[in-house]
Structure 1
Amino acid sequence: MKKLVVAASAVLMLTVGVALADAVGPNDVAMADAVVAESLTGVAGDPAAGRDIMINRKLGNCLACHVNSEIPEQPFHGEVGPPLDGVADRWTEGELRAILVDVKQAMNPESIMPSFYSLKLGARVAEKFEGKTILGAQQVEDVLAYLMTLKEE
């Protein structure tokens, strides 16, 4: 039984590793008309992981600027950006992916929202992120999967 578990774990790690190795790099993301139609990884996003990334004050930190009533247990929701309530009804999956990848290109070059999967981060971004993306490709897909659950009731 132990050998079976080890073998299954190895296959899973190889599968995930291959999928992540095939992720679209930040300089290779195809954005057309403010839409990134294709997944960055080819792996479905995990809404629960996306929610965790979104509320993580040291990672996504989305609540610093956005209100999201689906997360009442988190204090101090911001009001700088639009509310995330119903966001999946206002934008398509491809539009939301584009906003997450590079909001400056997708919406507004002057946006204070950081571009999470771009090497052009703009102003007000910590030095530790220079030359790096804030989120990885799969993390973007996870946040996107979570955002797609936020529909008007």
Structure 2
Amino acid sequence: MTKGATIKRLPVALAGLAMMAASAATAETVAPDSVPIEDMELKVSLTGAPGDATTGRETFADRKKGNCLACHANEDLKDQLFHGEVGPELNGVADRWSEEQLRAIVVNSKAVFGDQSIMPGFYTMNVGVNVAEKHQGQTILSAQDVEDVVAYLMTLKEN
């Protein structure tokens, strides 16, 4: 490639970089203390990016992350051991709740169901008492983890 051809392509490359930077700036993550849950719904994505259902399924089953199976039975993950019975069964959950409602529930179930809910808020700083020092000031899941779990939950429909 000649020097002239490289110089002619430079504006195109710079324009591409500017577009990527602009889209990254508009897709900022909503901070845990700024999540707008209203009427049992969280209408906006926390990241501005769609969730990945496959990754969400992994997070849902991961005992060190979501640990959702500790409380919820889920036929889709029947190969996993020890499904809990404390929370409702999640088979067909996408038929019972909207994406916006599921996002609000995962982010902060107490904002949806009230303080009597034993489900933790996975993307809130208000996680309760007796939090281990190394976990203080942190959310249980990242904003993208939440979006991934919600994308996965949206695949759980009745057959």
Q: Give the counterpart of 2:24 among 10, 18, 27.
A: 18
**1:129 Cα deviation from its structure 2 partner:** 2.6
**What is the match of residue 123 of structure 2?**
117
* 1:131 has 2:137 as partner: yes
d(CA) in 2 for partners of 1:80 and 1:137?
A: 25
Tell me the distance in 2 between the aligned counterparts of 1:74 and 1:18: 37
Match of 1:70, as an amino acid? D
RMSD: 2.1
Aligned length: 141
CA distance in 1, matches of 2:148, 2:25: 14
Structure 1, unmatched stretches of 5+, are 1-10
Distance 1:89 1:107 in 2: 19
2:119 partner amino acid: M
Give the structure 2 partner of residue 78 of structure 1: 84
CA distance in 1, matches of 2:132, 2:42: 26
Question: TM-score, length-normalised on structure 2?
Answer: 0.81
Q: Measure the CA separation in 1 of the matches of 2:104 and 2:78.
A: 27
Seq. identity, %: 54
* Deviation readout 1:80-132 (Å, 9 max, x if unpaired): 00001000011111110000010011112121111000000124755433211
For the pair shown, the structure with the greater C-alpha radius of gyration is 2
Q: Which of 23, 45, 53 is 2:51 aligned to?
A: 45
The gaps in structure 2 that reach 5 residues or longer are 1-16
Ranges of 4+ aligned residues in structure 1 off by more than 4 Å: 123-127
Distance in 2 of aligned mates of 1:31 and 1:114: 15
Find the aligned partners of 1:21 and 1:128 in 2 and give their Cα distance. Answer: 29
CA gap of 1:126–1:114, structure 2 versus 1, over 3 A, is farther
Cα distance in structure 1, aligned partners of 2:130 and 2:152: 25
- The equivalent residue for 1:93 is 99
Tell me the residue number matched to 1:32: 38
